[in-house]
Structure 1
């Protein structure tokens, strides 16, 4: 996937927006067996700071997923509000309902908090809640450069 993205960037010569699941665009994955080195990590190697990984988090809601990789049809899963031990719980407590944060410019105390691996919702093509996946979204061992947090998400609908 990283090779295809690089090919497209070379072909067009401009900026490329890569829409994909957090586990693809970031530098760290919650499933290191399936994604030992995510696409975002390969793109960072190729483009340095010219590649910016943007991750999404949310506090509650529904999304489409599968029980197993590439098996069966999509189903809607609804998850409850996060618990205090999760990354998203604290991110949802800021005064703005939906917000973004540039993780590259945070003060030390915020970076230290985000550098700790915590349970996180990982709404991808397969959703596993037991055990809950863990991820450090912060600066030193960061998964992303920028984080967009949404209070609530809703599953896509077929047109």
Structure 2
């Protein structure tokens, strides 16, 4: 005889085999990471050039009650240590990345009204466009084009 578990739901009782509860109820109780991130639009640019340096730019946006939240996280590695590199999006200057003694640096930009940690995020320019397939990102000697990811 299978063991049964009684659960009170709203106004009645539901009897389920224990094995069924473990595979169905628990699995459906916690959302998957894909479900949590399903509302984010994402585009990624891999940065390469004629040097050892490489990097990546990751753009995300999503609708929120207070408007559209945009994020652009840019990183570079194996670059010249203790150097300042300009960051350009489609040819327009966005900011600068200063590398550390290991040649690594980052620039994190976010819609101003959604910045919760000013030490981590800097504001994106107002009216920054949604990043689309083919948009370009350049950090000093490396560059790449964005690809939309699902």
For normalisation by structure 2, the TM-score amounts to 0.25
Larger CA Rg, structure 1 vs 2: 2
- Greater relative contact order (Cα 8 A, min sep 6): structure 1 or 2? 1
Q: Indicate the structure with greater strand content.
A: 2
